[in-house]
Amino acid sequence: MILKTYVMIKPDAVARGLVGTIVARVEAVGLTLDRLELGMVTPEQAAANYVEHVGKPFYEGLVSYITSGPVVKMQISGEEAVPVMRKLMGATNPKDAAPGTIRGDFGLSLDANIIHGSDSPESAERELSIFFG
């Protein structure tokens, strides 16, 4: 089934010059970039995206980090796009991510884990509306 998903290359990856490498990996697994924008995440977008984390000890740091520098926002589509992207990204904590995954190869820490991707088709729909209207 062809699905759409939302993927964001986070500020740490943009600052390290990894955008091209990450995009190439997405394309190499057969997914299609429908939309790609370099820009900043507004505090309002961050709050909407991370609403389930409000009140948790790491929330303020998460919002501060994601709004700290440019990100690359992408709409990606393809056969089973959500699970394919989740597998390609690797475990959230780069220490637990397998070699060959984006986080396994490039992630430095749980706080600077390179990339965000929707975890379900429902999340993808919600996140695409947050970041692309």
Active site residues: 116
**In which residue are the tokens 């690797």 written?**
90
DSSP 114: S
* Among the listed residues 125, 110, 119, 38, the one whose alpha carbon sits nearest the alpha carbon of residue 85: 119
CA pair distance 87, 130, nearest whole angstrom: 23
CA pair distance 13, 1, nearest whole angstrom: 30
Which residues have a Cβ under 8 Å from the Cβ of 7 and sit 6 or more positions away? 26, 74, 76, 85, 115, 116, 117, 118
Query: Is residue 73 a contact partner of residue 39, using CB atoms and an 8 Å limit?
Result: yes
